[in-house]
Structure 1
Amino acid sequence: MVRDGFLRDEEVHRMAIPTVGRTRAEFAAPFESEGYFAGLSIEQMEVFDAEDSIWTTYLDTADARLLGGRWAAFSRASVFPTLAAGLEGGREDARYPLFLDRLEADVAARLASSPAPMRIPLARMLFAKQG
């Protein structure tokens, strides 16, 4: 989209998806010195990779376009608005809807061209309030 002039370099540099997979040790680190952090302690913690249900469907159907389309639709709903905030006018930018449309189409095509399962790292944690 930069090559065709739809986006500017500085807009792309502002775009980020602020998520990161963490290990069990990284989740526990703030709690280690005193056993609690910010008035909370960890009662239970499970770090795991969730099932990629879109990949499971692909294994049954071998429909690469469906796989690409489903992941792109999920991404459009979950993270593309965060990327669009990097547009010059943010979510009010006139290009916002077209940006989402183009990004969804591009992601769908790219994923369909080379189907692969996605790693989905998650954590389930139960905290107890101290004091």
Structure 2
Amino acid sequence: MSEVKDNLRYSKEHEWAEEVGDQCIRIGISDYAQHQLGDIVFVEFPEIDAEVNAGDSMGSIESVKTVSELYSPVTGRITRINTTLESQPELVNQSPYEAGWLVEVQVSNSVDEALKALLTPEQYRTHIES
């Protein structure tokens, strides 16, 4: 069974979102998603300061099996990327909720509004079980 953290919100595309302060939300892919992808070998990041819209592609993630789009669960501006993944993409598999996070976005609206638009942990569990 995939781990679903109770302190996060989730998108139907399997990204997670967590408030990290100063109108910023940290984003990664869920444990379920990394299991489905298999061994991650490359992450393509958006540029710092790039504007992203909720539901739009913001990069890709490549595994030994496939290449998948990464979708932004929120609207805002990219403020930080996890550059460690450029040399250690396997951290997404080993630690999807901690060391394997992908980007941070400064949201355009309030953090609360951005997170409320996403799935609760309970809703996400139902989503991946169906």
State if a TM-score over 0.5 links the two structures.
no
Higher strand share: 2
| Shorter-chain TM band | under 0.3
Normalised by the length of structure 2, the TM-score is: 0.25
Structure ID, larger Rg: 1
Normalised by the length of structure 1, the TM-score is: 0.25
Flag the structure with more relative contact order, 1 or 2, with Cα contacts below 8 A and sequence separation at least 6: 1
